[in-house]
Amino acid sequence: MQEKIIILDFGSQYTQLIARRVREINVYCEIHPFNKCPEMDESVKGVILSGSPHSVRDAEAPKPDLSAIKGKMPLLGVCYGAQYLSQFFGGEVQPSKTREYGRANLEFVDTTSELMKGVSQHSQVWMSHGDTIVSLPEGYNIVASTKDVKVAAYKIENEQTYGMQFHPEVYHSTEGTLILQNFVADICGCTQDWTPDSFVDTTVADLKAKLGNDKVVLGLSGGVDSTVAGVLLHKAIGKNLTCIFVDNGLLRKDEFEAVLDSYQHMGLNVIGVDAKKAFLDELAGVSDPETKRKIIGRVFIETFDIEAHKIQDVKWLAQGTIYPDVIESVSVNGPSATIKSHHNVGGLPEEMNLKVVEPLNLLFKDEVRRVGRAMGIADSLLGRHPFPGPGLAIRILGDITAEKVTLLQEVDHIFIQGLKDNNLYDQVWQAGVMLLPVQSVGVMGDERTYEKVVALRAVASTDGMTADWVHLPYDFLAKVSNDIINKVKGVNRVVYDISSKPPATIEWE
Ligand code: XMP
């Protein structure tokens, strides 16, 4: 039985970070909304309560039922979690007199406490709270303090229950991982055997048992998730997996052939479908970004459906869904507005009548990469920048023609190859070029030109939710700009996008 830690989420921005840190210690954990606590069977070794944007003093503050947990198994409350464990058990929480955000140093550490074992006396921690625990219930003992926050961490006598006001999961808490390790390994007694290799072994065994001799179809996109899902399934069921890779005509230059080739080299049974014409025909004359996305989504489904039905007796549809897509989020400020009809260009219809298998739905993105590496997938595939499903269609502002696609492919190729040649590719989270619906005047030789403008975009990010533009070296930008204008006919001006997200977005459409 897979032992695990349960993280109860109260809506903190850091909840997923707690999960990632625990998993970095090779302990499996799951995030659940505080009001949908799963059954505490013997696989659960301990529980962590997350932070929250709420104050425990709010009328609508989340109030979990901890009767099956507190005092019965190891429990750690972080920030809101720690305040909840004091306020509702006889302590008192008040608004902080001074703002307590950012770095702080511990002044007192009780290293005889199992939680704080090995933590240095002035360890740096990260605070982010508007409330302070001013008095603890009876039987709660302080195990760490800072100058301003007396109750930085505590333990409840005769229980394996702990609370901490600071965030051990945040990078700036320099010994945060040690504290989490003390909790999950020593206090909860987890064996720390959840590694990429063990994940591959168990997942392949599970897939074998689940799929038996059934046939499975998977859409490959060239991206990390579908590639890793494909290789895992291939290990489990070999030739019973058929992969479909659709060329929508909106990929990067030579991308389709190169990626298809590497899939075939890995031994995957993959069908490459040239659907360029169907996509471009349907997109002709369309300028609205959302309409473009919808058309591309629909044509992809139609193309995929036709190919999938050519596979006799196919029973399963595999998808590269990852954990952040399935975590049920605690809605704090109501459902967030849809800004773009994003993602899931491959959201396939229910009428396909296939059962769904999602081998990566327990993994975070960085874990997918590590699992890929453990299976020997080349870094050239695992380290690829994210690329949007609708591809160059949303980087050609305005209507799309085959000529514009070819022109943008050439420009994009110069930029991306330049990043690779100058060892900048891996320092950038995502890069690409936008073809603007603008012409500008220039001179070439003695001639006046009136040609297109392209905008280069390179951003740093961790998940695409927020991003900042990368300060690429001027010399590099100068060289790329020169190369583009000299080599690509039809472009006479190159600009660099220096907007962050928010308020801008990464793509221009
Ligand atoms: P934005 O432009 O919203 O992009 O800042 C954030 C991330 O999402 C990608 N993106 C998409 N991916 N289908 C996709 O599969 C889409 O329609 C889509 N739109 C944006 C974008 O490339 C970036 O990584």
Atom of ligand 1 nearest to the CA of 432: 22
Is the per-residue pLDDT at 306 higher than 90? Answer: yes
pLDDT at 183: 98
Please give the residue that has the higher pLDDT: either 96 or 196. 196
Give the pLDDT band of residue 1 (cuts 50, 70, 90). Answer: confident
At the topology level, CATH places domain 196-382 in Rossmann fold (3.40.50)
Radius of gyration of the chain (CA): 26
Which sign, positive or negative, has the C-alpha torsion 110, 116, 119, 123? negative
pLDDT at 130: 87
pLDDT at 462: 85
Is the per-residue pLDDT at 340 higher than 60? Answer: no
Is the per-residue pLDDT at 330 higher than 90? Answer: no
pLDDT at 346: 46
Is the per-residue pLDDT at 343 higher than 80? Answer: no
Query: Ligand 1 centroid vs 465 CA: distance in angstroms?
Result: 9
What's the mean pLDDT in 247-270? Answer: 96
The percent of residues above 70 in pLDDT, for the chain, comes to 96
Give the pLDDT band of residue 415 (cuts 50, 70, 90). Answer: very high
pLDDT at 352: 76
- The verdict on the CB of residue 167 being under 6 Å from ligand 1 is no
Q: What is the CATH architecture assignment of 4-187? A: 3-Layer(aba) Sandwich (3.40)
What's the mean pLDDT in 284-308? Answer: 96
- The verdict on the CB of residue 296 being under 6 Å from ligand 1 is no
What's the mean pLDDT in 421-429? Answer: 97
At the topology level, CATH places domain 401-496 in GMP Synthetase; Chain A, domain 3 (3.30.300)
Mark whether 175 is an active-site residue: no
Q: Which tens digits make up the pLDDT trace of 165-213? A: 999 999 999 999 999 999 999 999 999 999 999 999 999 999 999 999 9
Atom of ligand 1 nearest to the CA of 509: 2
Is the per-residue pLDDT at 483 higher than 80? Answer: yes
Please give the residue that has the higher pLDDT: either 400 or 102. 400
Is the per-residue pLDDT at 358 higher than 90? Answer: yes
Which sign, positive or negative, has the C-alpha torsion 138, 140, 144, 149? negative
**Catalytic member of 29, 79, 188, 190:** 79
What's the mean pLDDT in 438-447? Answer: 92
pLDDT at 332: 57
- Residue pair 356/326 in contact (Cβ under 8 Å)? The answer is no
Mark whether 37 is an active-site residue: no
Is the per-residue pLDDT at 139 higher than 60? Answer: yes
Distance CA 208, CA 213 (A): 8
Residue nearest to atom 12 of ligand 1 (CA): 388
Ligand 1, residues 225, 336, 343: which to mutate, most atoms within 8 A of Cβ?
A: 343
Query: Ligand 1 centroid vs 222 CA: distance in angstroms?
Result: 15
pLDDT at 321: 92
pLDDT at 349: 63
Is the per-residue pLDDT at 350 higher than 90? Answer: no
Give the pLDDT band of residue 331 (cuts 50, 70, 90). Answer: low
Q: Which tens digits make up the pLDDT trace of 373-414? A: 999 999 989 999 999 999 999 999 999 999 999 999 999 999
Is the per-residue pLDDT at 348 higher than 70? Answer: no
How far is CA 188 from each of CA 5, 142, 184, 297, 383, rounded to the nearest angstrom? Answer: 8, 20, 5, 46, 35
Torsional class of 58: left (φ above 0), alpha (ψ -120 to 50), beta (otherwise) = beta
Question: What residue type is assigned to position 222 of the chain?
Answer: G
Domains 196-382 and 401-496 share a fold: no
- The verdict on the CB of residue 468 being under 6 Å from ligand 1 is no
Mark whether 350 is an active-site residue: no
What's the mean pLDDT in 409-425? Answer: 98
The domain ranges of the chain are: 4-187, 196-382, 401-496
Helix-helix angle 289-309:276-283, to 10 degrees: 150
- The verdict on the CB of residue 388 being under 6 Å from ligand 1 is yes
Distance CA 448, CA 177 (A): 62
